[in-house]
Amino acid sequence: MQFALVVGQKHEASPGLAGHCPGCGQPVVAKCGDQRMWHWAHLRKRKCDRWWESETPWHRAWKENFAREWREVINYDQNGERHIADVRTALGLVLEFQHSRLDPQERAAREAFYGNMVWVVDGTRLKRDWPRFYKGTTAFRQTALDVTHRVPCPEERFPYEWLASSVPVFFDFAGDGSADEPEPERQLLWCLLPGRVDRYAVLIAVSRQMFLEGAMRRPQIIDVTERLNAVALELQLELQQQRDKEREEARRHAQWRSYRNQQILQSHKPRRR
């Protein structure tokens, strides 16, 4: 954990400091070594939240973008179940930052528990993730909407455990910043929207600044329903235009065949002497 309660106040780990876990109230001790980030740990090896995971520098760096009071916030459901969100804003939006692989069942359980949430996924966990995604960008189909793309065969572009997510998933391919001058496309966040339009997934490219501003100022970073409906309408118009074009080509072909048949008949008529 990044924070513990010390005399009732939220504190980061510091050498020699002792506190209590804000989730379960049990004693925790500050771990301030040279090998890992400074953090709090329970005195006994236990997890008071089964969803809690060890943080990476990437994870901590993302959380540092948000106000202290928004980080590591305890959430309850109507049955009293309790979990600690990485970030929950003043407008009720939960952000979960995920580096390690996540079982699809646990992913679905977290989405059901938090409701209004988004994922930010470290796209550099596996070496093949960015090359696979970048290779697939040649098949992306730009829409009339700003920075919005239709993506055929999303199972070939993204880790399978995120394909069925019911909330937006933002893939961060820049990692923890250790890579030298990543490509411009890699510096963007690529948001996979839940749901599909026909056979297409919908993907939105977002700058980090736009993401942070949206997360801090709005209850939803992206209006998913509005964006999917707009893409669906555009696709419907495209299909209608394609059908109209095919009908027009068929009409012209029929006219040509009729004209050609008339020419053939004329050429076979007996000439008068």
Among 111, 3, 110, residue whose Cα is nearest residue 51: 110
Note the pLDDT of residue 229.
92
Note the pLDDT of residue 35.
67
Among 162, 49, 175, 58, residue whose Cα is nearest residue 111: 162
Q: What stretch of H or E contains 84?
A: strand 82-88
Q: Confirm if 195 and 106 have CB atoms less than 8 A apart.
A: no
Taken in order 186, 187, 193, 196, the sign of the CA dihedral is negative
Note the pLDDT of residue 268.
67
User: pTM here?
Assistant: 0.79
What is the mean pLDDT, run by run of 10 residues, along the chain of 273 residues?
A: 75 79 76 74 72 84 92 89 93 96 94 96 91 91 88 92 96 73 79 93 94 95 93 82 71 76 70 58
SS (H, E, C) 212-265: HHHHHHCCCCCCHHHHHHHHHHHHHHHHHHHHHHHHHHHHHHHHHHHHHHHHHH
Note the pLDDT of residue 273.
55
Beta bridge pairs of residue 118: 95
Q: Which two tokens stand for residue 48?
A: 């008071």
Question: φ, ψ for residue 129 (rounded to 5)?
Answer: -65, -50
